[in-house]
Chains A and B, each alone.
Chain A
């Protein structure tokens, strides 16, 4: 079994995908040390140019950060997606592969999905055009909200710390956002 706590180098290698499978398995299946979360945040923080404090990493490039007391989603390039309770995908650039031609750009013939049954939605950062997320869903399926964490519970009950930003109500605000955006558009006359 791997020794805990893990040193910073091991965690950096894990984040960079440099660990071999056996080591990675030991970390996944092994004990967790209480300092691990802090160290992961530190590593990510040291890699971004902006100053806002990272509250929680969402993926390799996306983070929930403390922007003037408000928790928002921010890309490693600096692009801001806004309130973390609104699905960040609404503000991302999207490319949908829903035809044979586009699917066969990345899959060999007959090796990809059938466009009638499944489409691939690729979400890119408008700031740096990094591919942030890919959804594989049936056509017409609503945009997935991957992860809506309860920050207050995480910080106060799990980590035993004070929430380092404003205490915003834990709720999914994506629908409200969509409503607002739709209302902003002028209704078209039929």
Chain B
């Protein structure tokens, strides 16, 4: 058996068999490209390679070869590629365009007169969103991002449609002609049309389209015209306009790159379809009209995986923590579901696109550690060396020490076994640099300095994690914690210290967990549209003196009937769009199932949540049921006492999701073996520094640890793609699904044994 093999196979007796991957999920992070492959029986293997930002497909293919090799699937890369049915991509191609300002430009905007400055003003939050905490509270640092489209490329046209969709001021058609002429004279490559409340009544946007087309025909030119209600028919013109601008600026030009990726696979003999993970947890094709939905899908894979594990174990409250090279992501599964937020930010632009709630800070294993020369205080992050790892990587070109370097110095990481030995690290370089940059200025021992760096980053992670949980009104005792990402298992004991979770889980495939989640995402298309359906509660009728009607929680029959008709109309329309899109992607809508959903809040409150409709079409009684479901969701996320059905309800969005189930990896189940690990699992001992003391830690090979085994700390369990550190007085138990449970001191092992 190959030494250093990270493998999770359903049947260990069947080790050397040829396996052909059908699903290949890629997670291109700032540091590593992770691969996750699944065969037709649900067996899976993981691989990892360094990200190659200049040409992502190199890193992607390397990680695929790595997965085949590490999984011992006994096939060549060509053979693997030829059998692939689906390739799921999550990555940064599009985001990089925004960060580097390398999108399609110049672009022109036609908007409602008087609203020309919407892009420039943005939202107040844009001045600080995505900043590290230290700069959020530092108002001198608050600066608005430079708008992607300069003000002189924005033209207003006189018109006004109200929220109800009623036309108050008709469209001044001459304005449109002039605006189009003006923008074409400026040489714009596309024209974006975003008028107020166009989602309620698209009449004017459609008219602008016609007039602009006519102007172009007369001039003999042709540039794309993009209408906001088609891309993002959602309330809030800033978020809507930002979404459309980013779609045209970054997503559209990336289609070509994604097609290139597909062609690369084609040239290797694959007929696989390339799928992109959306920020709401399904996958779409690169031809998807609203590609903007895939822009921030990076952290969603991990949450899909977290939810899946939760289902497998029957755990409803689970927090997923992803420690990468550059960032620390936290997402919660509450009551078995991940909350979906109605808006998010993309490189500090607020957009109205639904996204699985995941928050990140710039704290990872590649974070730089420095001494502030003025205050002489240690500071770690928020910037990082990313894929260059740290000083210890000789050819990385990094001069400043990183958390990785500290982990190398403390003996947590094996210099000869980083990425299974593919990247060699130099311990002496790390120690020398730490001495020079951290220990000497502080006048302390180099190992205490390294410990300080690790403690600092873990303290930041812990506080962030605690805030994410406490901020929702929970406490860590309500949750199980799942740690993944290449750096998760290294630091998990440290960043969970003092937070008493129900259990701390470390999947043995932690390193590629996000890709694992991505591979599990169903094909699916989601459409949202803003609605304004109010169902007043009895308090309202009480105030109107029309009699208290507490027995009718959602108002009189007529209103519920109206709500049902409106929702059915919107859902029907959205379903038509989803079906059309599915056909365009070559999917058979007959095989899909549809989930009609609504975003609801208590009338007058701000927080809305998504609930699935009990039926489609919905009946007036169904509306009652829908509101009851909302009560339940609200109670799960907040507390029972905060429920306020007396206020009534407001449906803020109608949502239709068309889902097309795909092959899922299944969690293999193994026989439990004895507690004592086999002799062969031990590779030796290594000196490890832990809280001021040198300890002799047992060194184990992760692949040779058997389900049922219990390992007492101090111990280090190594796999090619990650390292799992078990501190003294801690122990760990590997369960039948090959998920490790980290058992803190004072917690009984029997709580986890037998799982």
Which residues in A have some Cβ–Cβ distance to B below 8 Å? 1, 4, 21, 24-25, 28-29, 31-34
Let me know if B374 and A28 touch, CB within 8 A.
Answer: no
Let me know if B374 and A33 touch, CB within 8 A.
Answer: yes
B99 CB to nearest chain A CB (Å): 11
B392 CB to nearest chain A CB (Å): 20
Tell me whether B471 is interfacial, beta carbon within 8 Å: no
Let me know if A34 and B373 touch, CB within 8 A.
Answer: yes
Let me know if B373 and A28 touch, CB within 8 A.
Answer: no
| A4 to B, closest residue via Cβ | B373
Tell me whether B141 is interfacial, beta carbon within 8 Å: yes
Let me know if A21 and B146 touch, CB within 8 A.
Answer: yes
* Binary per-residue interface labels of chain B (584-620) against chain A in the complex, 1 for a CB within 8 Å, 0 otherwise: 0000000000000000000000000000000000000
Given the known interface contacts A24-B143, A31-B372, the answer about A1 and B383 at a Cβ–Cβ threshold of 8 Å is: yes
Q: List 11 A-B contacts (CB under 8 A).
A: A21-B143, A24-B143, A25-B143, A28-B138, A28-B141, A29-B132, A29-B141, A31-B370, A31-B373, A32-B372, A34-B374
Contact residue among A1, A21, A29 (Cβ-Cβ distance under 8 Å from B368)? A1
Given the known interface contacts A4-B373, A21-B146, A24-B143, the answer about A29 and B138 at a Cβ–Cβ threshold of 8 Å is: yes
Let me know if B141 and A32 touch, CB within 8 A.
Answer: no
Tell me whether B135 is interfacial, beta carbon within 8 Å: yes
Tell me whether B140 is interfacial, beta carbon within 8 Å: yes
Tell me whether B379 is interfacial, beta carbon within 8 Å: yes
Let me know if B370 and A28 touch, CB within 8 A.
Answer: no
What CA separation (Å) do A24 and B143 show in the bound complex? 10
| B400 to A, closest residue via Cβ | A1
Contact residue among B135, B144, B374 (Cβ-Cβ distance under 8 Å from A29)? B135
| A32 to B, closest residue via Cβ | B374
Of residues 42 through 58 on chain B, the ones whose CB sits less than 8 Å from some CB of chain A are none
Q: For B140, what are the chain A residues with a Cβ–Cβ distance below 8 Å? A: 28
Let me know if A32 and B373 touch, CB within 8 A.
Answer: yes
Q: For B374, what are the chain A residues with a Cβ–Cβ distance below 8 Å? A: 31-34
Q: For B144, what are the chain A residues with a Cβ–Cβ distance below 8 Å? A: 21
What CA separation (Å) do A1 and B370 show in the bound complex? 12
Of residues 116 through 167 on chain B, the ones whose CB sits less than 8 Å from some CB of chain A are 131-132, 134-135, 138, 140-141, 143-144, 146
Q: For A32, what are the chain B residues with a Cβ–Cβ distance below 8 Å? A: 372-374
6 closest residue pairs by CB, A with B: A32-B374, A29-B135, A21-B143, A1-B383, A28-B141, A29-B141
What CA separation (Å) do A29 and B373 show in the bound complex? 14
A122 CB to nearest chain B CB (Å): 23
What CA separation (Å) do A1 and B383 show in the bound complex? 7
| A33 to B, closest residue via Cβ | B373
B642 CB to nearest chain A CB (Å): 37
Among the interface residues B144, B146, B370, B374, which one has the most CB atoms of the partner chain A within 10 A? B374
What CA separation (Å) do A31 and B377 show in the bound complex? 11
| B146 to A, closest residue via Cβ | A21
| B379 to A, closest residue via Cβ | A31
| A20 to B, closest residue via Cβ | B146
Which residues in B have some Cβ–Cβ distance to A below 8 Å? 131-132, 134-135, 138, 140-141, 143-144, 146, 368, 370, 372-374, 379, 383
| B132 to A, closest residue via Cβ | A29
Q: For B383, what are the chain A residues with a Cβ–Cβ distance below 8 Å? A: 1
Known contacts A21-B144, A33-B373, A34-B373, then 17 further A-B pairs from the complex at CB < 8 Å, ordered by chain A residue:
A1-B368, A4-B373, A21-B146, A24-B143, A25-B141, A28-B135, A28-B138, A28-B140, A29-B131, A29-B135, A29-B138, A29-B141, A31-B374, A32-B372, A32-B373, A32-B374, A34-B374
What CA separation (Å) do A28 and B138 show in the bound complex? 9
What CA separation (Å) do A24 and B144 show in the bound complex? 12
Q: For B370, what are the chain A residues with a Cβ–Cβ distance below 8 Å? A: 31
What CA separation (Å) do A24 and B373 show in the bound complex? 19
What CA separation (Å) do A140 and B708 show in the bound complex? 78
Q: For B132, what are the chain A residues with a Cβ–Cβ distance below 8 Å? A: 29
A24 CB to nearest chain B CB (Å): 7
What CA separation (Å) do A33 and B138 show in the bound complex? 19
Q: For B143, what are the chain A residues with a Cβ–Cβ distance below 8 Å? A: 21, 24-25
B693 CB to nearest chain A CB (Å): 32
Q: For A33, what are the chain B residues with a Cβ–Cβ distance below 8 Å? A: 373-374
What CA separation (Å) do A17 and B347 show in the bound complex? 25
Q: For B372, what are the chain A residues with a Cβ–Cβ distance below 8 Å? A: 31-32
A171 CB to nearest chain B CB (Å): 28
What CA separation (Å) do A45 and B707 show in the bound complex? 73
What CA separation (Å) do A32 and B373 show in the bound complex? 7
A159 CB to nearest chain B CB (Å): 10
B367 CB to nearest chain A CB (Å): 11
| B144 to A, closest residue via Cβ | A21
| B368 to A, closest residue via Cβ | A1
Q: For A25, what are the chain B residues with a Cβ–Cβ distance below 8 Å? A: 141, 143
Q: For B373, what are the chain A residues with a Cβ–Cβ distance below 8 Å? A: 4, 31-34
What CA separation (Å) do A32 and B138 show in the bound complex? 15
| A35 to B, closest residue via Cβ | B373
What CA separation (Å) do A14 and B374 show in the bound complex? 20
| B145 to A, closest residue via Cβ | A21
Q: For A31, what are the chain B residues with a Cβ–Cβ distance below 8 Å? A: 370, 372-374, 379
What CA separation (Å) do A85 and B502 show in the bound complex? 60
What CA separation (Å) do A4 and B371 show in the bound complex? 12
| B140 to A, closest residue via Cβ | A28
Q: For B141, what are the chain A residues with a Cβ–Cβ distance below 8 Å? A: 25, 28-29
What CA separation (Å) do A42 and B368 show in the bound complex? 32
Q: For A34, what are the chain B residues with a Cβ–Cβ distance below 8 Å? A: 373-374
What CA separation (Å) do A1 and B132 show in the bound complex? 13
Q: For A4, what are the chain B residues with a Cβ–Cβ distance below 8 Å? A: 373
Among the interface residues A29, A33, A34, which one has the most CB atoms of the partner chain B within 10 A? A29
What CA separation (Å) do A14 and B163 show in the bound complex? 46
A23 CB to nearest chain B CB (Å): 11
B374 CB to nearest chain A CB (Å): 4
What CA separation (Å) do A76 and B108 show in the bound complex? 45
A125 CB to nearest chain B CB (Å): 26
What CA separation (Å) do A28 and B374 show in the bound complex? 14
What CA separation (Å) do A29 and B131 show in the bound complex? 10
What CA separation (Å) do A32 and B146 show in the bound complex? 25
What CA separation (Å) do A72 and B370 show in the bound complex? 38
What CA separation (Å) do A25 and B383 show in the bound complex? 14
What CA separation (Å) do A14 and B347 show in the bound complex? 25
What CA separation (Å) do A164 and B373 show in the bound complex? 23
What CA separation (Å) do A25 and B348 show in the bound complex? 14
A12 CB to nearest chain B CB (Å): 19
What CA separation (Å) do A28 and B131 show in the bound complex? 13
What CA separation (Å) do A32 and B375 show in the bound complex? 9
Q: For A29, what are the chain B residues with a Cβ–Cβ distance below 8 Å? A: 131-132, 134-135, 138, 141
| B374 to A, closest residue via Cβ | A32
What CA separation (Å) do A33 and B371 show in the bound complex? 11
B347 CB to nearest chain A CB (Å): 12
What CA separation (Å) do A31 and B370 show in the bound complex? 9
What CA separation (Å) do A31 and B131 show in the bound complex? 16
| A158 to B, closest residue via Cβ | B374
What CA separation (Å) do A24 and B140 show in the bound complex? 10
A134 CB to nearest chain B CB (Å): 18
B441 CB to nearest chain A CB (Å): 12
What CA separation (Å) do A45 and B141 show in the bound complex? 27
| B383 to A, closest residue via Cβ | A1
A87 CB to nearest chain B CB (Å): 24
B142 CB to nearest chain A CB (Å): 9
What CA separation (Å) do A57 and B370 show in the bound complex? 29
Q: For B131, what are the chain A residues with a Cβ–Cβ distance below 8 Å? A: 29
B301 CB to nearest chain A CB (Å): 29
| B375 to A, closest residue via Cβ | A32
Q: For A28, what are the chain B residues with a Cβ–Cβ distance below 8 Å? A: 135, 138, 140-141
What CA separation (Å) do A32 and B370 show in the bound complex? 12
What CA separation (Å) do A68 and B695 show in the bound complex? 64
Q: For A24, what are the chain B residues with a Cβ–Cβ distance below 8 Å? A: 143
Q: For B138, what are the chain A residues with a Cβ–Cβ distance below 8 Å? A: 28-29
What CA separation (Å) do A28 and B134 show in the bound complex? 11
B401 CB to nearest chain A CB (Å): 14
| A37 to B, closest residue via Cβ | B374
| A31 to B, closest residue via Cβ | B372
